[in-house]
Chain A
Amino acid sequence: MWLAILSLTVLGTLLGLALGVAAKYFHVEGSPLAAEIEALMPGSNCGQCGFAGCPRAAAAIAEGSAPVTLCPPGGKALAKALAAKLGISIDLDAVVDRGPQVARVAEEICIGCCRCSKVCPTDAIVGAAKQIHNVIREACTGCGSCIDRCPTEALLLQTLPVTVQHWVWPKPAATPAALTA
């Protein structure tokens, strides 16, 4: 009987040690893909994609349940980067890039409640209690998080006009068939 107890104890200890060592040396982090996708995303957690923040959206893209074109602030550039990361091909022409937008405060109806400045993911709204708020255009991403927070509807999104500096030559219209072949 002692022999049986001893051999089982030794066997158990050895196997336990082997399992412990294996767990340490062959350790696998969770899927690294989601983290890599998250690193590409804007990280402002604005919620325009319908997910609660960029990490959730990244997880959804990684498991294939969301399209790579979901991020409006990221636009075409992000969609392209994500498609390259996942090795899929997308039609960039189908990505609706609404162009740059910024929020604007209608100063005559702003009551200085500070609700908008608290939710802004990039701290683009400045203002203090009972003071007129304002948007720092350079920092605003046009995510629209602040719009619904305003009790007096003083915030609105404005599309920035195309300027001479940002204008892009249109693609020549008729592409000959042989050229595209």
Chain B
Amino acid sequence: MRILEKILGRHPHWGVHPDDHKRPAADAPLRSLPLPEVLYVPLQQHVGNPARPVVLVGERVLKGDLIAEPNGNISAPVHAPTSGWISAIGEITAPHPSGLPQLAITITADGADAWCERLPVADPFALAPEEISRRTAAAGVVGLGGATFPAAVKFNLGRRLQVGTLIVNGGECEPYLSSDDRIMRDRAAEVVDGLRIVMHAIGAREALIGIEDNKPQAIAAMRAAAAAFGNVQLRVVPARYPMGSDKQLIQTLTGKEVPADARAAEVGVLVHNVSTCAAVHRALRRGEPLVERIVTLNGGALTRPGNVLAPIGTPVVDLLRFAGVSGRPARLVLGGPMMGIVLPHARVPIVKGASGILAFDAAEARTLTAGPCIRCGSCTRACPMGLLPLEMASRIGVGDLDSAASFGLSDCISCGCCAYVCPAHIPLVQFFSHAKGELSARERSRLRNDATRRLAEDRAARLAREAREKAAASARRKAERDAAKAAAEGGSRPLSMRIADTTSEAAT
């Protein structure tokens, strides 16, 4: 089969093809979650600095009100997902594998779900591209495919590097997830309008929408929505994990390979997710900030899997209750089963980047014990980045991180294909996550050392300057004293001047 596929050239040589488990959740119509009583909105839901709260405990807010402002160049604001009052600003468990605390704003909903004043734009194409970036940034739009990079920062990068092609990522290659599929089926017009606004913002000439061939309804809906626009093309790509990774999608659609340590914009393309495009449409056309998203609820432990529209900050436990849990889920995952993160418990909120919540039953969550490496090379064939996972992992195993880095560890996209195909069940991608974290910790430590040295040098310079100034001041005083003495010996000197001299000396 593999050989046949290779001859036909239909399938890329990299990646894996896991069972997609997307149905029946993907075919269930989109539902809206009943408004939760309490929402926990984390201050960091994006790549970059955490946002800074601009509200006080006890304050009343309307849906869409700014509750935390961006802090620094790479950051994003956070808005109230419903109307109510701020009941706390403090630490909650982060939706993060570490289970560490994170700052969040707690909003008690008043049930009215009343919007703040919105400023829609009738014709976004009449606005300057900079203005679109500004409004997108102010609406808190981040990459909704999972990377959560602030969208406006990417617009500015694309404009600066004069990107010609916008690639719209409708790949959604992760098994179980169907939130992008659903948004393309139900809101295709919004997605297409949003991507045209993004094209205008970055100055792109054409847009390519890449959708995997396992989503026929989404393809039909998007094709109909994009038919009116000649510079927007839809390309069906083979369903292969990780097709939704930007580098793989760029290569499949344009044939361009993003070099190591380079960004996609440097080869003249920019990738945005379909949900991000829809969020840009809402930010501009309706003046609505990003306060809700479509979340896939799936997994063997749920009785009513499907997609729900949920406000940001909804506790996972509310979503699970909505989808009906049978028994106790063996594992909760935020995101997809390949790259998602295991949640410590269900009392964590969903964030902007939460594409799905998966509740696995015992059969889905089973972990196989790792055996010795049999040098079969399956991981090397599966790696979409052309790396040698077995070589890197064996080096990380003995703590030789630099040697692992020389094998291209920084190019690893943590897709997990290697660990998925490994017949010995070696947790390869976990080794790489550990090594990347350890290497960046070392880098932080090195930067800190440099900063310390700079501070110490500044102090030495300050002490030297002070000593110099002191010496200069005392030399000056001595010269003045000598001059005064010489004048006094000269005799004829008025009394008042002598008094002035002594007072100035006493003062010093």
Contact = CB atoms under 8 A, between A and B. Distances in A.
Interface of A: 41-45, 73-78, 80-81, 91-93, 100, 120-124, 139, 141, 162-172, 174-181
A61 to B, nearest CB: 15
B403 to A, nearest CB: 12
Contacts of A45: 456
A145 B479 CA distance: 40
A124 B458 CA distance: 11
Contacts of A92: 399
Given A122-B456, A170-B434, A176 B98 contact: no
Contacts of A78: 445, 449
A122 B459 contact: yes
A43 B453 CA distance: 5
A164 B434 contact: no
Contact of A169 (B371, B433, B449): B433
A169 B437 contact: yes
Contacts of A123: 455, 458-459, 462
B152 to A, nearest CB: 21
A136 to B, nearest CB: 10
Nearest to A91: B399
Q: Is the interface of B mostly helix, strand, loop or mixed?
A: helix
A139 B455 contact: yes
Nearest to A89: B400
Given A44-B452, A178-B373, A164 B462 contact: no
A-B pairs, top 3 by smallest CB distance, nearest first, are: A178-B372, A168-B437, A77-B445
Interface string B229-246: 000000000000000000
Contacts of B374: 178
B102 interface: yes
Q: Is the interface of A mostly helix, strand, loop or mixed?
A: loop
A76 B457 CA distance: 23
B445 A76 contact: yes
A167 B98 contact: yes
B134 to A, nearest CB: 27
B441 interface: yes
B442 A76 contact: yes
A95 to B, nearest CB: 11
Contacts of A121: 455-456, 459
17 contacts: A41-B453, A76-B442, A76-B445, A93-B399, A120-B459, A121-B459, A162-B100, A163-B100, A164-B94, A165-B44, A166-B441, A168-B437, A171-B434, A172-B434, A179-B397, A179-B426, A180-B398
Interface in B441-467: 441-446, 448-449, 452-453, 455-459, 462
